[in-house]
């Protein structure tokens, strides 16, 4: 079993960061208060509001990341692996950067952050990703058996491995105790999906 937890506003709270950054950018009054969704709707109602919202996201998910707060209860959950009963715990944080200011990656790259726990005898088979996808694994606890194509590697606590993930790959617990590791996946995406800089007006009805 796998349990996926979204990073944005499930693990890390960004409401206060969005409001503070929007104030600093002059997008809202210094007395403005509200949640992220309400702020988004307010900014999108401004002239060139969609572009302003994209720029704000670039600031928040770039330099503002360190100002996010941990959601109440998350720390206790992540430090009690018994609660997930041997499941692989996945932290999901796909980021499609569309802003030209403060972006994390060049569009259309997607960055995924994962936190896995595998119990003894557990394993997971990953399908081949698009060519150009890179994974970086770091073992926090235990021993991890990694297979990429026909190559096998065993990682211990403190070890890190980076590999191109366009071949089938497999992760497995290699010891008598659970293994916990983090994984960063950089997916180059589809070059044809770069967000447009403008939208052409619809042709008038004939």
Over 60: is that where the pLDDT of 203 sits? Answer: no
Identify the pLDDT of residue 128: 84
Identify the pLDDT of residue 96: 37
Measured between its terminal Cα atoms, the distance across the chain in Å is: 56
Identify the pLDDT of residue 173: 94
Distance CA 17, CA 36 (A): 9
Identify the pLDDT of residue 42: 93
Report which of residues 19 and 14 the model is more confident about.
Answer: 19
Query: How many residues in total does the chain contain?
Result: 206
Identify the pLDDT of residue 80: 60
The mean predicted confidence, pLDDT, of the chain is 75
Show the tokens assigned to 87. 């499941």
Identify the pLDDT of residue 54: 82
Which pLDDT band holds residue 11 (cuts at 50, 70, 90)? Answer: confident
Which CATH number is correct for 108-191, 1.10.760.10, 3.90.1520.10, 2.60.120.10, 2.60.40.10? 2.60.120.10
Which pLDDT band holds residue 131 (cuts at 50, 70, 90)? Answer: confident
Is the whole-model pTM more than 0.75?
no
For the stretch 85-113, pLDDT in tens is 555 555 555 443 333 333 344 444 567 77
Identify the pLDDT of residue 102: 35
Measure Cα distances from 198 to 50, 153, 201 in Å: 11, 47, 9
Over 90: is that where the pLDDT of 174 sits? Answer: yes
Report which of residues 68 and 119 the model is more confident about.
Answer: 119
**Helices 49-60 & 36-44, crossing angle to 10 degrees?**
140
What does the domain layout of the chain look like in residue ranges?
Answer: 13-68, 108-191
**Given the DSSP bridges, would you call strands 179-187 and 134-141 parallel, antiparallel or unpaired?**
antiparallel
Over 80: is that where the pLDDT of 135 sits? Answer: yes
Over 90: is that where the pLDDT of 143 sits? Answer: yes
Please identify which residue in the block is written with the tokens 């590999």: 163
For the stretch 32-80, pLDDT in tens is 988 888 999 999 999 988 888 888 887 887 667 778 888 887 777 666 6
Which pLDDT band holds residue 183 (cuts at 50, 70, 90)? Answer: confident
């Amino acid at each position: 079993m796998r349990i996926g937890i979204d990073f944005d506003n499930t693990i890390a709270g960004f409401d206060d960061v969005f409001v503070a950054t929007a104030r600093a950018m002059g997008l809202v009054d210094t007395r403005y208060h509200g949640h992220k969704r309400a702020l988004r709707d307010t900014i999108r109602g401004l002239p060139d509001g969609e572009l302003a919202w994209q720029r704000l996201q670039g600031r928040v998910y770039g330099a503002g990341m360190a100002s996010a707060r941990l959601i109440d209860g998350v720390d206790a959950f992540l430090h009690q692996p018994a609660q997930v009963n041997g499941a692989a715990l996945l932290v999901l944080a796909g980021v499609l950067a569309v802003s030209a200011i403060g972006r994390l990656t060049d569009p259309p790259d997607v960055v995924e952050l994962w936190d896995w726990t595998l119990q003894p005898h557990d394993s997971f088979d990953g399908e081949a990703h698009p060519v150009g996808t890179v994974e970086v694994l770091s073992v926090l606890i235990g021993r991890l058996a990694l297979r990429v194509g026909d190559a096998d590697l065993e990682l211990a606590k403190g070890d890190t491995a980076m590999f191109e993930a366009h071949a089938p790959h497999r992760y497995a617990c290699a010891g008598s105790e659970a293994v916990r590791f983090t994984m960063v996946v950089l997916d180059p995406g589809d070059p044809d999906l770069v967000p447009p800089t403008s939208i052409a007006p619809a042709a008038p009805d004939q």
